[in-house]
Structure 1
Amino acid sequence: MAKKTWFSMKESGASAAEITIYNDIGYWGVTAQDFHNALKALGPVDNLTIRISSDGGEVLQGFAIANMLARHSAYKVVVVDGIAASMASVIALTGDEVVMPENAFLMIHNPWGGVVGDSEDMRSAADTLDKMMVNIRDVYVKRTGLPEAKIQKMMDAETWLTADEAVKLGFADRVDNPVDMAAQRFNLAKFNKVPKSFGAHSKEDPTMTTKTNAAANGGDEGNDDGAKAARDAVIAEAKTIRELCKLAGKASLADKFIEDGVSVDEVRAELVKLTDADAEKAAKDAAKEGTNAHHTTTNGGRQAQAKTVDSEDIFARFNKKPKR
């Protein structure tokens, strides 16, 4: 799957540079390795401007990026161009100065995720999430000076802060003039309390922020046919993604695809790629055992045949076409 490209670093002066993160944090967007390579390529600079508009992503990848910025010797000014939500808010707070246009938002909440496995796997995942929550909470407490209990209450409630509120509470340092938000495919449907005012100054097409924002808020109290249609479209797309993942034997990937706002076409392409990789691995494993796709062996008096994966057949079923 081709990664999104709303991430860049560039020199902007004799000893200054600008970093732009208009993307998810993690595999589907800006990875820690991507960030490290680009930051290293900039070389030494005295001033960094970090422009962020992201709905967050993977916790560990986000902390790796935040730590790289925190260690950097440059004076760092973070500008939240549209939204700094979840792990993007942690990255934003590494700035020596945090600036928010008056129509931007910062959102904090508890980390969450899904896991497939037995009861021990579930307990282990819960323990890990608790530790991540403490680490994230500590960042907010250190930046704002607010009591730990107050920050925890805000995280529990999924709190969206306007620029004025963020400055008042110590998350940001100053408010700037409103800006036209860059067009992005925010997957805001995964959040519970998205303000209806989000995107009020944006120029994005209606399939982007406006669509997912309407879905997240359940439309305009049930009276807006356009919002209902947008919500229905998001639900239908999620259902299709789940069906595709189940068909490919990759049901556990569905939630991640939906969370990250991956399109149906992108999901289909990624599943075909993963299926081909499974088939290649099966063939290699069979070769190691001195077998091939049609070779059988005797085990305890029973005949066992090497199992193969027919990627052409799965691709045909994805596209509802007869197999050639």
Structure 2
Amino acid sequence: MSDLITSPRMAGEDMPAGPADPIFNRLLKDRIIWLGEEVKDDMANRICAQMLMLAAEDPKSDIWLYINSPGGSITAGMAIYDTMQLIEPDVTTVGIGMCASMGQFLLSSGTKGKRFLTSHARVLMHQPSGGIGGTTTDVRINAELIMDMKKTLGELTAEQTGHTIEEIYRDNEYDHWFTAEEALEYGFVDKLVSTHETMNSDKE
């Protein structure tokens, strides 16, 4: 979580061209959302809008969120998290490649029992960080905000994984990398998937 806060943008402003590609639109028809970049406001706006659209179209069918992300803005990530909690459909999360920092948190935020990780993916957990500068007052305010977000994310991660808040604080004090097997054992996900058949067995 390299950035604590990013400047807000209007939905659709300066959005990258990639998600407008027919491939991404085709995935949406199958209720698949792709999170394959750093978590920033523009992509968070897009993913929140896609979730709301799919929930409105069919509130009973799962939404599939695929994640391959190095992390990013906490506030942008929390917008995605809050939308996941707000909508009626279950959100199935699938981690591939790397789920680091906010990517790890969103992976673990999927509906319990429906959080998957591919067998060669890696997961990184660490505590929130952010650049602090400016006046003494600015430094104090930013430090207080970081501590508040650390508490919030720690409590939510403890709930998601079944660990105590003390264990989460201990384990995220420094960069903590997990293999897929270790991530499963820690409680970030519910199952490892490696083939089309294992994925389809949970979709059906």
TM-score category of the 2 structures, normalised to the smaller one: 0.7 to 0.9
Larger relative contact order (CA 8 Å, sep ≥ 6): 2
The answer to whether the aligner puts 1:53 opposite 2:65 as a matched pair is no
User: Structure 1 pair 176/150, CA: closer, same or farther in 2 (3 Å)?
Assistant: same
Partners of 2:63 and 2:52 lie apart in 1 by: 13
CA deviation after TM superposition for structure 1 residue 37, in Å: 2.4
CA deviation after TM superposition for structure 1 residue 39, in Å: 2.4
Give the equivalent residue in structure 2 for 1:10: 28
The answer to whether the aligner puts 1:34 opposite 2:51 as a matched pair is no
CA deviation after TM superposition for structure 1 residue 113, in Å: 1.1
- TM-score, scaled relative to structure 1: 0.50
Partners of 2:127 and 2:164 lie apart in 1 by: 17
Q: How many residues end up aligned between the 2 structures? A: 173
The answer to whether the aligner puts 1:44 opposite 2:57 as a matched pair is yes
Partners of 1:71 and 1:129 lie apart in 2 by: 25
Partners of 2:163 and 2:62 lie apart in 1 by: 28
Residues 53 and 81, structure 1, Cα contact 8 Å, conserved in 2: yes
Which has the greater radius of gyration? 1
Give the equivalent residue in structure 2 for 1:25: 39
Give the equivalent residue in structure 2 for 1:156: 173
Partners of 1:83 and 1:178 lie apart in 2 by: 18
SS at match of 1:114: coil
SS at match of 2:57: coil
- Segments of 5+ residues of structure 1 without an aligned counterpart are 180-324
Give the equivalent residue in structure 1 for 2:107: 92
Q: Write the mapping of 1:76-225 to structure 2, written as runs, cut at 5 A.
A: 76-96=91-111, 97-177=114-194
Identity of paired residues, percent?
21
Deviations for 1:201-227, whole angstroms, at most 9, x for unmatched residues? xxxxxxxxxxxxxxxxxxxxxxxxxxx
User: Structure 1 pair 178/120, CA: closer, same or farther in 2 (3 Å)?
Assistant: farther
Q: Which runs of 4+ in 1 moved over 3 A?
A: 1-9
User: Structure 1 pair 170/5, CA: closer, same or farther in 2 (3 Å)?
Assistant: farther
Residues 53 and 84, structure 1, Cα contact 8 Å, conserved in 2: yes
Deviations for 1:60-85, whole angstroms, at most 9, x for unmatched residues? 11011111012222122211011111
SS at match of 2:109: coil
- Segments of 5+ residues of structure 2 without an aligned counterpart are 1-12, 197-204
